[in-house]
Amino acid sequence: MRIDILTLFPEMFESPLNYSILKRAQEQGLVAIAVTNIRDFAADRYRKVDDKPYGGGPGMVMMPGPVFDCFEHVAKLAPPEGLCRGRPALEARAGCPRHGRVILLTPQGTPFNQSKARELAQEDRLILIAGRYEGFDERIRVGLNAEQISIGDYILNGGELAAMVIVDAVVRLLPGALGDEDSAKSDSFSVGANDDLPLLEYPHYTRPEVFRGLKVPDILLSGDHAKIAQWRREQSLERTRQWRPDLLERGDREKGG
Ligand code: SAM
C-alpha cells in the first residue's frame, strides 16, 4: 500500500510515523508513506496558501490552487514496485492504480470507525488531505471528488492528527503488520468469531498473579482453553452490553434483526 499525506505541517508526522508498528511496517515494505507540503505548491513568493472568505466572516480559508497543484503532483507518483506483493487481488491487475482513494479530513465527513479502517486497508493507495484554518475552499471537495472523513464530533486545529489516526488504524490491519495476526481479530470493534457482532474485547491480565489484593480470575490459570474462550466471550458480551450497548443494537440492525 502507498499512503500520501498532503499537509501544511509535514514535520508533525516525523515522530508518529517512526515508531513501533508503523515504522516496522514501512521497513518491511508493507506500506510506503509519503508526506508532501502543500505550501511548496503556493503560486507566489510569499508561499500563500490561505485567504479571506468571500462574504466575510472570521478566519482564513485554504485556497484551491495550491491543494490542486499538490494533489496533481502527488497523484502522478506511481506506487513503488512491489507494494502489491502478497496481495493477489492487486497483483492480478495490470498494476496498482495511481490515484486510489482521495480523502479530505474534515469534521463534516463520515465518522471514522473500525469498519472504515478495514475497508481502507483493502486499498493499494490512499491520498489523505489535511485541512487548516476554517477549512477547505468548497471547490477542493467538489473538484477532487474526494470523500470526506471525520474522526469524531469535535473540532481539531488541523487534519494532521486525524490523518495520523487513520494511518495508524489502517496500517495495523495490513497483513504482516502485527506480530500476531490474531491480535487484530480479537480487538474491540472487530467482528466476533461466532455471531458477527462487533464487541468490545475481553479483559486482559498479566503477571503478577495477585496485584494489590486483586487476583487474576482462576479460569485464566486453569489451562482449559475451551472454558477460557467461553469466559472471554461472556466478558466481551457483558462489557459491550454495559458500556457500549449501541454496538449490539447496530450489529443487530446490520444483520436485519
Ligand atoms: N470550520 C470547520 C468546520 O466547522 O467544519 C472546521 C475547521 S478545523 C479548525 C481545520 C481543519 O482541521 C479541517 O479543515 C480539518 O482538516 C481538520 N479537522 C478538524 N476537526 C476534524 C475532525 N473531527 N475530523 C477530521 N478532521 C478534522
CATH class of the structural domain 188-254: mainly alpha
Interacting residues of 103 by C-beta distance below 8 A, sequence separation 6+: 126, 127, 128, 129, 146, 147, 148, 149, 166
Phi, psi of 203 (to 5 degrees): -75, 150
Q: Locate 33 and state its grid cell.
A: 508513506
Fold of 2-171: Alpha/beta knot (3.40.1280)
Q: What is the mean pLDDT of residues 81-110?
A: 66
118 among known catalytic residues: no
Provide the CA 176 distance to its chain's centre, in angstroms. 17
Does any ligand 1 atom lie closer than 6 A to the CB of residue 198?
no
Q: Tell me, what's the pLDDT at 257? A: 45
Q: Locate 201 and state its grid cell.
A: 474485547
Q: Tell me, what's the pLDDT at 91? A: 45
Q: What is the mean pLDDT of residues 160-170?
A: 98
Q: Tell me, what's the pLDDT at 198? A: 87
Does any ligand 1 atom lie closer than 6 A to the CB of residue 131?
yes
Cα–Cα distance between 183 and 215 in angstroms, integer?
A: 24
- Catalytic position from the list 2, 125, 141, 172: 172
SS3 198: strand
Q: Break the chain into its structural domains and give their ranges.
A: 2-171, 188-254
pLDDT greater than 50 at residue 97: no
pLDDT greater than 50 at residue 11: yes
Does any ligand 1 atom lie closer than 6 A to the CB of residue 236?
no
Q: What is the pLDDT of residues 115-148, one digit of tens each?
A: 999 999 999 899 999 999 999 999 999 999 999 9
Q: What is the pLDDT of residues 195-207, one digit of tens each?
A: 567 899 999 999 9
Kindly report the pTM of this predicted structure: 0.91
Interacting residues of 192 by C-beta distance below 8 A, sequence separation 6+: 198, 199, 233, 236
Do domains 2-171 and 188-254 share one topology? The answer is no
Q: What is the pLDDT of residues 14-26, one digit of tens each?
A: 999 999 999 999 9
Confidence bin at 150 (pLDDT 50/70/90)? very high
Provide the CA 85 distance to its chain's centre, in angstroms. 21
pLDDT greater than 90 at residue 78: no
Q: Locate 102 and state its grid cell.
A: 482521495
Task: Using alpha carbons only, give the angle 167, 168, 172 rounded to the nearest 5 degrees.
Answer: 110
Cα–Cα distance between 157 and 31 in angstroms, integer?
A: 27
Identify the residue with better confidence: 256 or 114.
114
Does any ligand 1 atom lie closer than 6 A to the CB of residue 130?
yes
Instruction: Evaluate the omega torsion of the peptide bond into residue 97 and state whether it is cis, within 30 degrees of 0.
Output: no
SS3 122: coil
Does any ligand 1 atom lie closer than 6 A to the CB of residue 29?
no
Task: With residue 248 as reference, give the H or E element that holds it.
Answer: helix 245-254
Interacting residues of 7 by C-beta distance below 8 A, sequence separation 6+: 13, 35, 36, 37, 38, 129, 130, 158, 159, 160, 163
pLDDT greater than 60 at residue 88: no
Rounded to the nearest angstrom, the distance between the alpha carbon of 182 and the centre of ligand 1 is: 34
Among the listed residues 135, 184, 192, 202, the one whose alpha carbon sits nearest the alpha carbon of residue 162: 135
Ligand 1 pocket mutation, candidates 63, 104, 106, 134, criterion most atoms within 8 A of CB: 106
For 143, 191, 207, the CA distances from 203, given in Å and listed in that order, are 47, 17, 14
- Catalytic position from the list 187, 232, 233, 244: 187
Question: Mean pLDDT over all residues of the chain?
Answer: 90
